[in-house]
Amino acid sequence: MTLTLHAHPFAAFCQKALVALHENATPFALRHIDLRKEEDRAALIALWPFRKFPVLVDGDRVIAEATLVIDHLDRHHPGPTRFTPQDDDAAAEVRLIDRVIDNYVLVPMQKIATDPLRAEGERDPVGVEQARATMQTAYAWLDKRLAGRRWLAGEDFTLADCGAAPGLLYGDWSEPIPATCPALRQYRARLLTRPSVVTVVEAARPYRHLFPLGDPGRD
């Protein structure tokens, strides 16, 4: 049975799920959702009323939220890469890092990137500065976590790295990773050479004009 991912190639949380799908070469169909189109919005709302993507359809199962999509792949469509370790303590660390990436990198990144889309009198400079501070705190925390590690949770590529791929790609465009975080900068460069990540980044390249802060002209 074919998996169908309702997503947009350029959306950060969609890329998180797409990295996992490509990492294990899991067969799937992409239902390209363009939220500017009424029919696409309606199709997404019919699956998930919060109108957020990605949403994975697997037979009669509908799985929303990128982390849960990847959990579903681990359980029902496993491949060579296991995204969450079976060991409870190792799994807890992966999930902690996943939460940090989502809540303290991806979410504030979106705040910074989308604030310019607001009308002049509705912009939130205080909120943007808070978002920048949150990202810098997350960068420093991640940099320390990476000491002696190839990937965020150790030697194995995991759920945490799936989220870090778009998180650090777009994060560095929005709030640059400082020179005081050399391990994180090196990790970001290494992550962007991972074949599954390269596939996702290249598929999204034609949409870079959509980035509200402007196409930075670099990965």
pTM: 0.96
pLDDT level of residue 2 (50, 70, 90 thresholds): confident
Average pLDDT over the chain reads 97
Distance, in Å, from the CA atom of 143 to the CA atom of 164, rounded to the nearest integer, reads: 12
Segment (H or E) for 129: helix 125-145
Does residue 25 sit within a domain? Answer: no
Residue span of the structural domain in which 148 resides: 88-194
Q: What is the pLDDT of residues 156-174, one digit of tens each?
A: 999 999 999 999 999 999 9
Distance, in Å, from the CA atom of 10 to the CA atom of 198, rounded to the nearest integer, reads: 13
Q: Which residues make beta-bridge pairs with 57? A: 4, 62
Q: What is the pLDDT of residues 63-74, one digit of tens each?
A: 999 999 999 999
Does residue 211 sit within a domain? Answer: no
Q: What is the pLDDT of residues 73-92, one digit of tens each?
A: 999 999 999 999 999 999 99
Q: What is the pLDDT of residues 28-45, one digit of tens each?
A: 999 999 999 999 999 999
Does residue 39 sit within a domain? Answer: no
Total number of domains in the chain: 1
Output phi, psi for 169, to 5 deg.
-60, -60
Does residue 59 sit within a domain? Answer: no
Does residue 38 sit within a domain? Answer: no
Q: Is the dihedral of CA 156, 157, 163, 164 positive or negative?
A: positive
- For residues 118-123, give the mean pLDDT: 92
Contact between residue 72 and residue 56 where contact means Cβ atoms under 8 Å apart: yes
Distance, in Å, from the CA atom of 76 to the CA atom of 57, rounded to the nearest integer, reads: 12
The proportion of the chain whose per-residue pLDDT surpasses 90, expressed as a percent, equals 98
Does residue 83 sit within a domain? Answer: no
CATH of the domain at 94: 1.20.1050.10
Does residue 96 sit within a domain? Answer: yes
